[in-house]
Amino acid sequence: MVELDRVSLIDVCASYFSGSPPFGEGKKKYEFPDAFALLALQREAKDRNKMIYVVSGDSDWEKFCSSSDDLNLIGKLDDLLETIIGETDSDDVYVCYDLYNQKEEKIKKYIADNFLDLEFSLDRSGTSLIEGGSEEIEVEVNSVDITRTSLVDIDDFDAEHPLVVFELDAEVNFSAKVSYVSLEYATYDREYETYYNVEKISMVSKESIILNAEVTLTLSRDKYDSLCDSDIKSINIDPNNNLGEIIIDTGYDDDYY
């Protein structure tokens, strides 16, 4: 635990009046707690004579750390884990990435196949009236591109077959064939409780979405105890349930057919 009482109030006030990070322009009085925290971390790093990694997406923290020789700011926890793993055993890490790369096409195919099982619905904000229950959506995946790959865990409890976990960001480009009954120009017969002059709308919407996936590989060792092969143990799309229902845009008039 880093103790804040080791920080000099004089140093904090000096940063405030000079507009130094994390205060900056306008001095921003609400940054005082951040200033105490950052100066305490910097003092701890100097006392230990070691670099301290700081995880934050705050731009003022980034400015402070960039001017410090003792603090290294990393934007996301996944990136920090990858850095730590890489520094721990770099040779094995390189092999893990190589074994992952050998499986990437299978992983992309799995994402494409299982993407179709996700929930899709129409964006009703771009239409006046849609007859309930008339919507039909047919999704086809055009491509899957892995935009980020991070090795976040190595479990070597079973030394012969260790497990490694990768987190991925995948950009899925897909087409959605959409049809629905529009009531925009229809007339309603109250006596017979029915609509006349309804219009069947058909369109193709080309969409793109970034989703997260977690991939676990089971590794194998050869007779020299070197990592040599891998099998896909599991692939979990959207492991944190952040995606929700995918909304299909209905506003592309030039995609009508």
Please write the tens of the pLDDT for every residue from 201-252. 888 889 999 999 999 999 998 888 888 899 999 999 999 888 888 988 766 3
Domain ranges of the chain: 4-75, 90-255
User: What local confidence, expressed as pLDDT, does residue 89 receive?
Assistant: 55
Q: Which two tokens stand for residue 130?
A: 């849609």
Q: What is the pLDDT of residues 122-151, one digit of tens each?
A: 876 655 577 767 788 999 999 999 999 988
CA distance 179 to 200: 7
CA distance 153 to 162: 10
- Could you give the dihedral angle defined by the CA atoms of residues 204, 206, 209 and 214, in that order, rounded to the nearest 10 degrees? 80
DSSP secondary structure of 194-250: EEES-EEEEEEEEEEEEEEEEEEEEEEE-TTS-EEEEEEEEEEESTT----SEEEP-
Phi and psi at residue 106, to the nearest 5° = -65, -40
DSSP state of 72: E
Highest mean pLDDT among 85-99, 150-164, 208-222: 208-222
Q: Which two tokens stand for residue 121?
A: 């619905």
Q: What is the pLDDT of residues 27-42, one digit of tens each?
A: 567 788 888 888 888 8
Phi and psi at residue 70, to the nearest 5° = -110, -15
141, 172 in Cβ contact below 8 A? yes
